[in-house]
Amino acid sequence: MEAEKKFSWGDVLVIFCVVLATAAIVGGLVYYFTNRQAQSDKSAANSQIQSLQEQVDSLKSEQATAVDNSSWKTYTNASYGFSFKYPSDWTVAENAVSYGDARSYEISFASAGANTGYSAEVYNMNGQTANAFVNSYFSQIEAGPSSIQDVTINDNQVVKFVMLLGCGSGSGSTNFLFSSGSIGVALSNSASSSTSDTSTLQAMANTFEFN
């Protein structure tokens, strides 16, 4: 009769060590994946907080620079079918122009007999999208366009950009290009205008409509 096999203290110690090692590995894996998920959740939360903070800061900035345009006059162009408001103490000058085959009409503004540096120019975009027109047409002028952005104003898709002057030193005019069909209308303030911010131009753009 075969003798019954008995466990020695050595066998018990080996089993105990195996169980302990297995528990340590499992625990380490659980901690690793739990910690990684926590870090991922923390990173996502921080990103959301930063995004919300940027939106709040943007709204505060817009409110701080808001211009009251309730008493402004309305300029209407029946030929090209658009209108927008401008400061009531400005006077309007209109000119048919020819600049290549694109620019066809210019509206400029003066205050107390001096040019304000603000204008509206009408372009024939020849079937191009507003973005394509900015990149193809304006790139031929001075140092070309910079800081091109797609923005929405009164349900209009608008291209906002800065026209750099000279050798691209950073100074330039801010432009809002509205488009409808083949017609583009750019509201702009030149680098030499009496104000360095864009609050008045933004207020004008906020009232722009194609009729």
Phi-psi group of 56: left, alpha or beta (phi > 0 → left; psi -120 to 50 → alpha; rest → beta): alpha
- Cα radius of gyration rounded to whole Å, the chain: 33
Mean pLDDT taken over the chain: 80
Mean pLDDT value of segment 55-67: 54
pLDDT digits (tens, 9 = 90+) for 104-119: 899 999 988 787 889 9
Domain 73-210: which CATH class?
Answer: alpha beta
User: Is the model's pLDDT at 201 over the cut of 50?
Assistant: yes
The confidence score (pLDDT) of residue 168 equals 47
In angstroms, rounded to a whole number, what is the distance separating the alpha carbons of residues 198 and 194? 11
144 versus 63: which is more confidently predicted?
Answer: 144
The H or E element containing residue 196 is: none
Mean pLDDT value of segment 41-65: 62
Would you place residue 194 in the very low, low, confident or very high pLDDT band (cuts 50, 70, 90)?
A: very low
